[in-house]
Chains A and B, each alone.
Chain A
Amino acid sequence: MHFFSQSFSYEHPWAHVVVGMWHKYPNPKCTHVVSIDVVDRTIDPTTGIIRTERILGCKQKAPTWIVKLFGGSEDAFVREISFVDPVRQTASITSVNLSLSQFATCLERIQYTPAPGNRTSFTQTAEIQARMALWRSAADGLERWLVQRFEQNAHLGKLGFMDVLRALEERQAAPGAV
């Protein structure tokens, strides 16, 4: 498991930053995010907390060898859950990759809270964890690929050898052959 974390503050009030959350994309600096969909949204009438579940569509950033070896597509999807708490004035966002999640998961957590001087503090942590299944799947994928290669080669080997045998036969049948 690997960790990543950073924190800083935006020079904007908290409410402004949280409104901005819904306007972040499309963004010329983050062109890898190509689509955003809300798949669930609830408003808790008692606390006022808005929970939103979204799916972000991203251009695949996986190394091409992974895509080639294990399949997958050009698109990668990320699930994002956000909680906006208007009373406690916090916004927290958790994101996890859906695509290639059988190999590794990246769980990102972000929090926006008001900071002195009409600023907003931002903290971000990420846990990146390869699954044990990675090795099994990698081995499976590799094995499947090797089996296919082997079958292909075996097929070509058979065809090649048949040619040799046929040529030999023709030569032997020809008059004057040794």
Chain B
Amino acid sequence: MADSLAPVCTSLKQEYDSCFNVWFEGYLEPLATTATEAQRTSHYQRKAEEFQAKCGKVYAEYQNCLQSAVKQRGIEPLLQQAREEHPLREAHPPADSPPNSK
């Protein structure tokens, strides 16, 4: 597992990564084709809650540790600028069409 950019946060970061990886196992298994929309929604809702319950605490501790390092290293303004420029709140469209030249 990769290190954190802040060495003091690496152990929390790796604990969080492990937690995510365990939770993520099996997440991609397709649901039964007979599953209804409602069943699908309740499935993912349950998974999201399970993730929060299992990994939420270590995530909060990890973020708490990381935030000060992100500030110290001068990354925060760069990240802020990048988020404004490309919010990327939704996945980009499929890449099968060539990009428009500008």
Q: Which residues of A contact B (CB under 8 A)?
A: 1, 3, 5, 14-15, 18-19, 22-23, 25-26, 33-39, 41, 43-51, 53, 55, 57, 75, 77, 79, 81, 83-87, 89-90, 92, 94, 96, 98-99, 101, 107, 109, 111, 113, 123, 125, 127
Contacts and interface: CB of A to CB of B under 8 A. Distances in A.
A18 B49 CA distance: 21
Contacts of B39: none
Interface residues of B, number: 51
Contacts of B41: 45-46
Secondary structure type dominating chain A contacts: strand
A25 B2 CA distance: 6
A125 B99 contact: yes
Interface of B: 1-5, 9, 13, 16-17, 20-21, 24-25, 27-31, 40-41, 43-45, 47-49, 51, 59, 62-63, 66, 70, 73, 75, 78-79, 81-82, 86, 88-92, 94-96, 98-99, 101-102
Given A18-B28, A35-B4, A44-B44, A90 B91 contact: yes
Contacts of A85: 91
A36 B2 contact: yes
